[in-house]
C-alpha cells in the first residue's frame, strides 16, 4: 500500500511537463482583474513599463521591443495574447522579463510580458494545485498548467512554454504579415 501512495504522490511531478504545474515558488501578478502566476525559475527580472518601441507587421499582442542593457527584448501584451482587449497602461503596470527556450533550436530567448501589477512571490504546494479547467477561464486551456488555491481565491498558473511559445508567435507573425501583403495586393490591384 505504501508503494501505491508513493507512486501517487510522485504523479504530479511527472505530469508537470505535460499538464499539471509542480509545487514551488511562483511570482503572482494581476491581469484584467484576475490573479495569475508564473514559476520564478522562468523570471529574470521585473521592470517598470516604458520605452516600448513599436515594430511594424507584428501580431496585435506584440506591443514592440525594449532595450534591456543592450539586448532587444520583445514585449508581449498577455491580455491581447489571451484574445482580449489590450492592457491599459497605468501607474502600476510593469514588464516581467521571462526566459523561454525556443524548442526548434534550444536557444534561450528573453520575452517581456505586460502585467497590470506585480504582487508577490509565494510558495505553492502540490496539495494546493488543481488541474486546469477545460472551459470557463476565458483563455486557451493549454495556456494553463493548473489552478492554485490560496486565501479562498484561485490563482491561474500559466504554462510559460505555451503562452510564450516562440515558434507559435513567429508563425502568427508570419501569418499576419502574409495577410497584410494579400490585403495590400488586393488594394493595389484596384
Asked whether residue 67 is assigned to any structural domain, the reply reads yes
Q: What is the pLDDT of residues 103-125, one digit of tens each?
A: 777 788 899 999 999 999 999 99
Q: What is the pLDDT of residues 20-74, one digit of tens each?
A: 778 899 999 999 999 999 999 999 999 999 889 999 888 889 999 999 999 999 9
Between 94 and 1, name the one with better pLDDT. Answer: 94
Asked whether residue 184 is assigned to any structural domain, the reply reads no
Report whether 2 contacts 10 (CB < 8 A). no
Asked whether residue 44 is assigned to any structural domain, the reply reads yes
The pLDDT confidence band at residue 186, using thresholds 50, 70 and 90, is very low
User: Residue 4: what pLDDT?
Assistant: 41
Q: What is the DSSP letter of 124?
A: E
Between 79 and 187, name the one with better pLDDT. Answer: 79
Asked whether residue 187 is assigned to any structural domain, the reply reads no
User: Residue 181: what pLDDT?
Assistant: 59
Radius of gyration of the chain (CA): 19
Asked whether residue 180 is assigned to any structural domain, the reply reads no
CATH of the domain at 41: 2.40.50.180
Between 13 and 91, name the one with better pLDDT. Answer: 91
- Cα–Cα dist 100/145, whole Å: 16
User: Residue 83: what pLDDT?
Assistant: 87
- Quote the number of domains for the chain: 1
Asked whether residue 120 is assigned to any structural domain, the reply reads yes
* Exposure on the CB side of residue 55, measured as CA atoms within 13 A: 17
Asked whether residue 164 is assigned to any structural domain, the reply reads yes
Q: Which domain holds residue 137?
A: 2-174
Residue 142 has pLDDT above 80, yes or no: yes
Asked whether residue 106 is assigned to any structural domain, the reply reads yes
| Three-class SS state of 133 | coil
Mean pLDDT of the chain, nearest integer: 80
All three cell numbers of 130, joined, read 488543481
Amino acid at each position: 500500500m505504501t508503494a501505491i501512495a508513493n507512486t501517487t504522490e510522485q504523479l504530479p511531478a511527472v505530469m508537470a511537463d505535460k499538464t499539471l504545474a509542480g509545487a514551488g515558488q511562483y511570482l503572482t501578478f494581476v491581469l484584467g482583474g484576475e490573479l495569475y502566476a508564473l514559476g520564478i525559475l522562468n523570471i529574470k527580472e521585473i521592470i517598470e513599463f516604458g520605452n516600448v518601441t513599436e515594430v511594424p507587421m507584428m501580431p496585435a499582442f506584440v506591443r514592440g521591443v525594449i532595450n534591456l542593457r543592450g539586448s532587444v527584448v520583445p514585449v508581449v501584451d498577455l491580455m491581447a495574447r489571451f484574445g482580449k482587449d489590450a492592457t491599459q497602461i497605468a501607474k502600476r503596470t510593469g514588464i516581467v522579463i521571462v526566459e523561454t527556450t525556443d524548442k526548434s533550436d534550444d536557444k534561450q530567448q528573453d520575452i517581456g510580458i505586460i502585467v497590470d501589477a506585480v504582487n508577490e512571490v509565494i510558495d505553492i504546494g502540490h496539495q494546493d494545485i488543481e488541474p486546469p479547467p477545460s472551459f470557463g477561464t476565458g483563455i486557451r486551456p493549454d495556456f494553463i498548467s493548473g489552478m492554485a488555491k490560496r486565501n479562498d481565491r484561485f490563482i491561474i498558473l500559466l504554462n510559460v512554454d505555451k503562452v510564450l511559445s516562440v515558434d507559435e508567435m513567429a508563425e502568427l507573425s508570419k501569418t499576419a504579415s502574409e495577410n497584410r501583403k494579400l490585403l495590400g495586393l488586393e488594394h493595389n490591384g484596384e
